[in-house]
């Protein structure tokens, strides 16, 4: 270990700078002098660390998740009015705000609070149950606030379009969208409550009621430009920051620093993509130059200066759309760039400069500008030149800057179209973008090409124009199929996609996609009377209407608050930004911060860690390695296999922690990491893929015995029909919005730990083992998690042990937080599978025998293996007499994989559904019928050996098919597919039987009543992570004791109050802790009964409690919940459900949308229908992301995670959810084996989400049939856009008019 003494922070300004006037940054109406702050500090860091405004959250630091959104108001540079914009505070440097005259940053804290009164947006989001873990809620609130400030009367479509940059992993988005749509005044669908003027809402300080008045009072100090506008605002040895106030000032600065590395700053959003650009010494903030905001409509076209943001440009293009049809085309295309906060901050000029600097950058601005014939003006102190976009890429920009762009109007007879195909339909970079402009003349019934421009990005870094195809088309007649096929043949030759980058979609896909986009444009030039009716669907892209949804359930008002649909108790704290997560905790005196050093090799031996340079960095305190660990170097305590905190030598995967940098701030710790030099020896080729592991027989020790029921081999061989196949299910990053984090504080009796963990007992054991203490000295607390989904059950131990080691060695408080990239590299994901099967069946589809081998990728450690335990889900809802189920745990050089929501059950159910689909295809039968024929009935025995005493799946299946008119919709789909060659629809049905086991869960529950007023506090062993655990517990307590729910408070979970508790997970934690509290209340009532019997009828609860206290009754009760296993290995109960999903696919691109999902789910008698519906929706959308979007990408040579961030990893957004999303909780279905007749809801619904993949597969099958292919094919998960399109077997030779 190397350490240095702490240094006092100092101002990094020159003497001249410090004597200048104040530099004021205004936040929530209060101005703060930032002259001694680093101008490159992000606004988010400033808000959180300096001002302690922790309602604004941080996660991705890329502008890709939306939890850091704030609103900025400032004077319009050209007009006497205010501008209001939402921005990503994680990307915005505080220095860049100083150029915005009379600016004011508005954060969640300014809107409202629980004590003073909530803002209507905060209140609605809570009331609509739109907040589960709550980490994303402030970002959604602020994004909506920005919309309403600009447009108090938005449409439903505008509201839905608004959240293209906000990620929520918990809710499934539907309740969030409903809450926000309630502000649409012209819609009756979401109207609830009153409508208000969003401008002036603030609780009155006297009455605490909402009143109308100006809610942000600026303190009077001007935040406009400083007197010396060309002056140097900040200066240090490392950087200088300028703020010119005129073009002349800018010219002079560029000339003065001609030889220096200069960065012109406007939105500074590029660092979300190219994080390692630079280093720069000179920063010039150009936002204070009003001339660079000019926009004029010239006779030749729209002239736009370089400070105009993307969203402003879009507004101008729409404003002037009557001048040229191309302007709407360009505006629509620009709306697909990034997200609204990024487009508010980032400009067209910055986007083009990214393309100039990085030719591989897929710039959509470049594509549409070049196709439109735009020309950019580049200027320096002595010259002004205009270039087309292609020539601009080769201009030497040293000392120059982009001054403006002119976007010409279309000439008469010209048409323009553009296309962008993305992995996700919002906030994603493109696979391939294309823009086309053509001038057509009509002569002698021919449509002749007079000129054409075909511009692409995403092919390779040098391919811009399809020049040969452009040349071929000159003078050709578009009506001729020979012209179409001739052009496609030429295009086929000149399209040579780069295929070297594993992150790129395949070259084959990008090539046929580029051809398909040209085909779309070609047909768009022709009239309906020319284009074949079946081909006309090629001309349009999928259009998504505003989403809708229904939620159907029953409750029992006579039992309220039990069964009452109500928001989470903490919902208002979450939507107001007041809910405190670990990184929101105020910094303690002498607190230290950390960052992991990760291995870059995937299979090697660590030889040396050189920290010399790291220890010279500002704020450096220590670099800790394996040698510094006081106890045992493992974060998985016995009897688990050792998983080292820091590698002692063996490198098992790229991304494995090898050291921990410790500094006085998070930023300094991260800077240290870049300076640590790690050397390796004995580098070997890592086993990265599952196929390679199978080939090399790289297995962990056998996870358990086979399951053998009957004689599957004979049953298959004796069957009249047999099929075999293979299917894959990929990995999934948990995407908890609060990344792995822990704070550890040395205290007199050991260590106090605030942990974001789902399993405090295991974490306590791990820390004690790592630092050489006993469990009694490790005090662990968890109040709430910003998401977990299984990823914080065992994996949270890593950051906890690292923090504990640092705190123990350095004797100071230590906060250990992983940034998103580190989290995605160092921590395992959902297990991936390759599954091989063989099945025998009769000609009517009845199953006879099934053999399945599950190859499960456990990564480099078997500790969180799931493959054996998850065999209980292998049958799903289907009966078969003969089974052979073989689990194999693969050992690869990847981070040890871990449990993820519905671990094992989700892929296993997908596998058996695939088997049934394969059987149906072999028999040319409808899979819906084949599945129905094989469903379990009451009294059937499962391969696990237990009988189903209650089984409703047949009734549920038939009921939902009828209720949502599956037969009628299938006929409609059949006709649609027959009429349309290039758009296809599909429908799929997936049933569910989900085994719920209680016997592994154990929790200590304590209910205490205060004698003074009768209020109740509860502690239990579960962890609130958004699933509504605390709310259900409080409802049960209030119901059992007959008291108002606001009398009950749930305390944070600790190892002191609830020792030895099991992990929170498996969907049973809410149930078992509710059971424990129910039993506590029963005991309490028994204790109180003798006293109550002596009191007059109607005695209040408060008086009863007081009387019991006087009678020396113990008002604290504990119950240790740990259910016994059921006979024959049976689960406590089974949950049943059915899902019908419908999808539409663009065959030419692979783009798709889920048009409708109907879910019927057996939740027993729901304790809280609001919470349970939210769990169903959230689980389903997370599963849908797994099957259709979320793909992990690894370097095939090192095994390193290549898509460790939001730029490349794409979970669902709000416009990815089903267009019509309908949830019904089965009515009149009490569960006699559950707690208060309820069933769990957290994980089972996710297992039905594969219905979306199968619906897409039905559409693909329809497309393949058109090409003459009607045989079975596997569709692995995730079926991303590129996979879907290539599965359609599109061949450009089949393109016709």
Residue 278's region, left for phi above 0, alpha for psi from -120 to 50, else beta, is: left
DSSP 8-state secondary structure symbol assigned to residue 46: I
Q: What is the DSSP string of 714-737?
A: HHHHTSSEEEEEEEEE-------S
pLDDT confidence of residue 689: 97
Say if residue 416's pLDDT is above 70. yes
Give the residue with greater pLDDT, 213 vs 162. Answer: 162
Would you give the DSSP letter of residue 309?
A: B
pLDDT in tens, 599-657: 999 999 999 999 999 999 999 999 999 999 999 999 999 999 999 999 999 999 999 99
- What is the C-alpha separation between 1256 and 1276, in angstroms, rounded? 12
Q: pLDDT tens, 994-1015?
A: 999 999 999 999 999 999 999 9
Burial class (CB in 10 A: 0-12, 13-18, 19+), 1271: exposed
- Quick one: pLDDT at residue 62? 96
Which helix (DSSP H) or strand (DSSP E) does residue 1033 occupy? helix 1029-1041
pLDDT of residue 209: 37
CB neighbours (10 Å) of residue 1089? 12
Task: Tell me the CA distances in angstroms from 84 to 199, 720, 745, one per residue in order.
Answer: 12, 70, 42
Average pLDDT over residues 1017-1024: 98
Q: Which of the four pLDDT bands, split at 50, 70 and 90, describes residue 208?
A: very low
- Which DSSP letter does residue 896 get? P
The reported pTM is 0.96
Residue 557, CB-side half-sphere exposure with 13 Å CA sphere: 0
pLDDT band per the 50, 70, 90 thresholds, residue 237: confident
Structure tokens at 443: 């002569």
- Identify the three-state secondary structure at position 1117: strand
Beta carbons within 8 Å of 420's beta carbon, 6+ residues apart: 333, 336, 364, 430, 433
Task: Give me the phi and psi of 1261, to 5 degrees please.
Answer: -60, -40
Phi then psi for 1054, rounded to 5 degrees? -135, 160
What is the distance in angstroms between the CA of the first residue and the CA of the last residue of the chain?
72
Check: CB of residue 1205 under 8 Å from CB of residue 531: no
Classified as helix, coil or strand, 1242 is coil
Region 330-354: mean pLDDT is 97
The sign one gets for the Cα dihedral 891, 892, 895, 899 is negative
Which of 42-51, 114-123, 200-209, 679-688 has the least mean pLDDT?
200-209
- Smallest CA-to-CA distance from 1023 within 830, 640, 816, 762 is with 762
Of the candidate ranges 149-163, 196-210, 255-269, 449-463, the one whose mean pLDDT is the lowest: 196-210
**How far is residue 259's CA from residue 957's CA, in Å, rounded to a whole number?**
73
Say if residue 229's pLDDT is above 50.
no
With vertex at residue 1019, the alpha carbon angle to CA 1017 and CA 1025, rounded to the nearest 5 degrees, is: 115
Q: Give the model confidence (pLDDT) of 55-102 as tens digits.
A: 999 999 999 999 999 999 999 999 999 999 999 999 999 999 999 999
Question: Judging by DSSP bridges, how do beta strands 620-624 and 592-598 pair with one another?
Answer: unpaired
CA 968 to each of CA 597, 963, 974, 987: distance values in angstroms, whole numbers, following the listed order: 59, 11, 10, 11
Paired strand residues for 408: 301
How far apart are alpha carbons 133 and 129 in whole angstroms? Answer: 11
Question: What percent of the chain shows pLDDT beyond 90?
Answer: 93
Distance CA 442, CA 1041 (A): 84
Taking only the tens place, the pLDDT of each residue in 1052-1110 is 999 999 999 999 999 999 999 999 999 999 999 999 999 999 999 999 999 999 999 99
CA distance 511 to 528: 27
Residue that is written with structure tokens 């060659």 in the block = 981
Q: How far is CA 936 from the centre of its chain?
A: 36
Residue with tokens 């073989």: 886
Query: In terms of Cα–Cα distance, which of 106, 17, 114 is closest to 69?
Result: 106
- Residue 271: pLDDT over 90: no
The CB density around residue 638, as the number of other CB atoms within 10 Å, is: 10
Name the E strands within 718-870.
721-729, 741-747, 750-755, 778-782, 814-817, 832-841, 847-857
- Residue 7 pLDDT > 70: no
**Whole-Å CA distances, 423 to 459, 502, 521, 1001, 1185:** 16, 15, 21, 39, 11
Q: How many CB atoms lie within 10 A of CB 1106?
A: 17
Sign of the C-alpha dihedral computed for residues 1263, 1265, 1268 and 1273 taken in this order: positive
* Residue 203: per-residue pLDDT: 40
Secondary structure, 3-state, 1266-1294: HCCCCCCCCCCECCCHHHHHHHCCCCHHH
Which tokens hold the place of 1295? 């393109």
Rounded CA separation 161/427 (Å): 11
| Residue 124 CA neighbour count, 13 Å, CB half | 25
Longest dimension (CA), the chain: 107
**CA–CA distance, 175 with 58 (Å, rounded to integer):** 23
Instruction: List 1228's β-bridge partners, or say none.
Output: none
Q: Establish whether the linkage from the previous residue to 1056 is cis, with ω within 30° of 0.
A: no
In this predicted structure, the answer to whether residue 204 has a pLDDT above a threshold of 90 is: no
pLDDT tens for each residue of 1170-1228: 999 999 999 999 999 999 999 999 999 999 999 999 999 999 999 999 999 999 999 99
791 near 757, Cβ under 8 Å?
no
Residue 6 has pLDDT above 90, yes or no: no
Q: How far apart are CA 76 and CA 294, in angstroms?
A: 12
Query: What is the C-alpha to C-alpha distance for residues 1136 and 1161, in angstroms, rounded to an integer?
Result: 6
- Give the whole-angstrom CA distance, residue 1105 versus residue 1111: 10
Of 1216, 1230, 1235, 1286, the closest CA to residue 177 belongs to 1216
Q: Which helix (H) or strand (E) holds 305?
A: strand 301-305
Phi, psi of 1010 (to 5 degrees): -85, 125
729 neighbors 907 (Cβ within 8 angstroms): yes
Nearest to 1030 by CA among 579, 582, 584, 585: 579
Give me the pLDDT at residue 265, please: 95
The reported pLDDT for the residue numbered 704 is 81
Residue range 155-166: average pLDDT?
97
Cis peptide before 742 (omega within 30 of 0): no
Cα separation, 705 vs 703, whole angstroms? 7
Concatenated DSSP letters for 329-374? Answer: HHHHHHTTSS-HHHHHH-BHHHHHHHHHH-TTS--HHHHHHHHHT-
929-977 pLDDT, tens digit each: 999 999 999 999 999 999 999 999 999 999 999 999 999 999 999 999 9
pLDDT for residue 10 is more than 90: no
pLDDT of residue 186: 66
pLDDT at position 13: 38
Residue 214 has pLDDT above 80, yes or no: no
Half-sphere exposure of 95 (CA within 13 A, CB side): 26
Give the sheet arrangement for strand 650-651, strand by strand: 650-651, 604-610, 677-681
Q: Average pLDDT, stretch 435-454?
A: 95
Around Cβ 173, how many Cβ atoms within 10 Å? 27
What is the chain's length? 1297
- The per-residue pLDDT for range 390-402, each reduced to its tens digit, is 999 999 999 999 9
Tokens of 533: 């009716």
**What's the mean per-residue pLDDT of the chain?**
94
274 C-beta neighbours (distance < 10 Å), count:
13
Report pLDDT for 206. 38
């Amino acid at each position: 270990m190397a350490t240095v003494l702490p240094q006092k922070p100092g101002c990094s300004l020159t003497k001249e700078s410090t004597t200048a006037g104040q530099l004021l940054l205004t936040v929530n109406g209060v101005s703060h002098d930032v002259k001694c702050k680093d101008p490159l500090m992000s606004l988010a860091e400033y808000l959180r660390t300096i001002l302690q405004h922790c309602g604004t959250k941080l996660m991705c630091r890329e502008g890709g998740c939306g939890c850091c959104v704030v609103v900025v108001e400032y004077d319009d540079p050209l007009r006497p009015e205010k501008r209001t914009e939402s921005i990503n505070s994680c990307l915005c440097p505080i220095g860049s705000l100083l150029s915005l005259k009379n600016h004011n940053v508005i954060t969640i804290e300014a809107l409202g609070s629980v004590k003073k009164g909530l803002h209507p947006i905060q209140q609605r989001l809570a009331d609509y149950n739109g907040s589960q873990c709550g980490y994303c809620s402030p970002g959604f609130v602020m994004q909506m606030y920005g919309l309403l400030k600009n447009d108090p009367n938005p449409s439903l479509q505008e509201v839905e379009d608004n959240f293209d940059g906000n990620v929520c992993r918990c809710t499934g988005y539907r309740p969030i969208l409903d809450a926000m749509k309630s502000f649409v005044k012209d819609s009756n669908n979401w109207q609830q409550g009153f409508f208000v003027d969003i401008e002036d809402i603030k609780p009155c300080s006297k009455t605490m009621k909402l009143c109308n008045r100006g809610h942000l009072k600026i303190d009077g100090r001007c935040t406009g430009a400083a007197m010396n506008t060309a002056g140097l605002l900040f200066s240090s040895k490392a950087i200088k920051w300028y703020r010119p106030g005129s073009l002349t000032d800018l010219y002079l600065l560029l000339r003065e620093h001609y030889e220096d590395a200069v960065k012109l700053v406007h939105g500074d959003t590029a660092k979300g993509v190219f994080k390692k650009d630079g280093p720069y010494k000179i920063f010039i903030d150009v936002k204070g130059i009003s001339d660079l905001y000019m926009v004029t409509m010239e006779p030749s076209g729209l002239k736009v200066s370089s400070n105009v943001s993307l969203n402003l440009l879009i507004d101008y293009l729409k404003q002037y759309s009557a001048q040229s049809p191309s302007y709407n085309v360009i505006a629509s295309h620009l709306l697909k760039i990034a997200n609204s906060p990024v487009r508010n901050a980032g400009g067209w000029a910055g986007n083009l400069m990214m393309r100039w600097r990085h030719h591989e950058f897929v710039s959509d601005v470049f594509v549409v500008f070049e196709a439109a014939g735009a020309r950019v003006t580049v200027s320096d102190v002595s010259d002004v030149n205009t270039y087309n976009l292609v020539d601009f890429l080769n201009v030497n920009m040293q000392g120059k800057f982009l001054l403006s762009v002119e976007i010409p109007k279309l000439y008469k007879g010209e048409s323009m179209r553009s296309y962008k195909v993305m992995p996700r339909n919002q906030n994603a970079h493109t696979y391939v973008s294309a823009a086309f402009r053509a001038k057509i003349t009509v002569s002698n019934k021919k449509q002749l090409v007079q000129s054409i421009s075909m511009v692409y990005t995403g092919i390779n870094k040098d391919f811009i124009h399809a020049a040969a195809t452009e040349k071929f088309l000159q003078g050709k007649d578009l009506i001729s199929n020979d012209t179409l096929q001739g052009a496609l043949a030429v295009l086929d030759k000149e399209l040579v996609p780069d295929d070297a980058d594993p992150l790129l979609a395949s070259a084959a896909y990008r090539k046929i996609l580029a051809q398909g986009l040209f085909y779309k444009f070609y047909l768009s030039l022709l009239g309906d009377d020319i284009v074949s009716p079946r081909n006309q669907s090629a001309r349009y892209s999928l259009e998504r209407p505003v989403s809708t949804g229904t939620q159907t359930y029953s409750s029992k008002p006579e039992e309220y608050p039990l069964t009452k649909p109500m928001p989470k108790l903490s919902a208002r704290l979450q939507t107001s930004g007041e809910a405190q997560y670990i990184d929101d905790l105020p910094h303690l005196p002498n607190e230290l911060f950390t960052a992991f050093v990760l291995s870059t090799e995937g299979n090697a031996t660590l030889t040396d860690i050189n920290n010399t340079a790291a220890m010279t960095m500002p704020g450096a305190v220590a670099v800790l390695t394996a040698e510094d660990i006081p106890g045992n170097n493992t974060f998985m305590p016995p009897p688990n296999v050792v998983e080292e905190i820091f590698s002692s030598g063996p490198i098992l995967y790229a991304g494995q922690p090898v050291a921990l940098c410790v500094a006085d701030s998070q930023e300094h710790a991260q800077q240290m990491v870049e300076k640590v030099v790690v050397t390796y020896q004995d580098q070997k080729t890592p086993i990265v893929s599952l196929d390679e592991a199978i080939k090399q027989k790289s297995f962990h020790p056998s996870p358990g015995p086979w399951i053998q029921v009957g004689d599957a081999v004979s049953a298959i061989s004796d069957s009249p029909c047999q099929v075999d196949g293979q299917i894959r299910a990929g990995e999934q990053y948990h995407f908890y919005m609060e990344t792995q984090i822990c704070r550890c504080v040395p205290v007199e009796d050991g260590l106090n730990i605030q942990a974001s963990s789902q399993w405090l007992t295991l974490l306590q054991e791990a820390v004690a083992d790592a630092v050489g203490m006993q469990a009694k000295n490790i005090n662990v607390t968890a109040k709430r998690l910003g998401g977990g989904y299984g990823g914080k059950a065992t994996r949270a131990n890593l950051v906890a042990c690292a923090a504990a080691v640092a705190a123990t060695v350095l004797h100071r408080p230590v906060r250990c937080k992983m940034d998103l990239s580190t989290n995605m590299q160092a921590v395992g994901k959902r297990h991936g599978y390759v599954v091989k099967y063989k099945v025998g069946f009769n000609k009517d589809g009845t199953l006879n025998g099934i053999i399945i081998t599950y190859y499960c990728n456990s990564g480099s450690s078997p500790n969180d293996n799931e493959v054996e335990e998850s065999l209980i889900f292998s049958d799903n809802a289907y009966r078969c007499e003969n089974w052979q189920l073989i689990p194999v745990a693969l050992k690869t050089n990847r981070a040890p994989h871990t449990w993820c929501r519905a671990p094992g059950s989700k892929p296993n159910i997908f596998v058996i559904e695939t088997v049934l689909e394969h059987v149906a295809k072999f028999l040319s039968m409808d899979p819906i019928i084949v599945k129905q024929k094989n469903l379990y009935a009451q009294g059937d025995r499962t391969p696990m050996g237990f009988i189903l005493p209650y089984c409703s799946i047949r009734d549920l299946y038939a009921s939902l098919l009828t209720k949502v008119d599956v037969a009628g919709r299938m006929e409609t789909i059949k006709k649609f597919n027959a009429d349309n060659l290039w758009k296809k629809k599909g429908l799929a049905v997936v049933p569910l039987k989900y085994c719920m086991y209680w016997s592994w869960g154990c929790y200590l529950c304590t209910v205490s009543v205060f004698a003074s007023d009768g209020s109740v506090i509860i502690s239990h062993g579960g962890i609130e992570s958004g699933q509504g655990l605390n709310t259900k517990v409080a409802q049960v307590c209030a119901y059992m004791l007959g008291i108002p729910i606001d009398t009950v408070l749930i305390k944070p979970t600790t190892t002191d109050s609830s020792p030895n508790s099991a992990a929170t997970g498996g969907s049973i934690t809410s149930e078992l802790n509710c059971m424990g509290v129910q039993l506590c209340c029963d005991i309490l009532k028994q204790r109180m009964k003798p006293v109550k019997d002596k009191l007059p009828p109607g005695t209040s609860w408060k008086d009863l409690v007081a009387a019991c206290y006087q009678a020396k009754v113990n008002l604290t009760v504990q119950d240790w919940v740990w259910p016994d296993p059921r006979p024959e290995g049976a689960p406590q109960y089974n949950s049943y459900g059915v899902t019908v999903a419908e999808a539409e696919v663009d065959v030419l691109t692979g783009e798709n949308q889920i048009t409708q999902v109907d879910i019927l789910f057996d939740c027993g008698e729901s304790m809280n229908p609001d919470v349970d519906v939210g769990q169903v929706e959230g689980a389903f959308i997370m599963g849908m992301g797994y099957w259709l979007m979320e793909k992990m990408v690894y370097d095939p040579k090192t095994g390193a995670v290549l898509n460790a961030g939001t730029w490349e990893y794409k979970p669902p957004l709000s416009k990815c959810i089903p267009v019509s999303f309908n949830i019904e909780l089965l009515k009149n279905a009490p569960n006699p084996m559950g707690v208060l007749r309820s069933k769990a809801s957290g994980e089972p619904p996710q297992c039905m989400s594969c219905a979306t993949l199968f619906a897409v597969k039905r559409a693909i099958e329809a497309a393949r049939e058109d090409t003459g292919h009607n045989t079975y094919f596997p569709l692995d998960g995730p079926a991303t856009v590129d996979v879907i399109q290539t599965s359609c077997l599109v061949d450009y030779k089949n393109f016709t008019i």
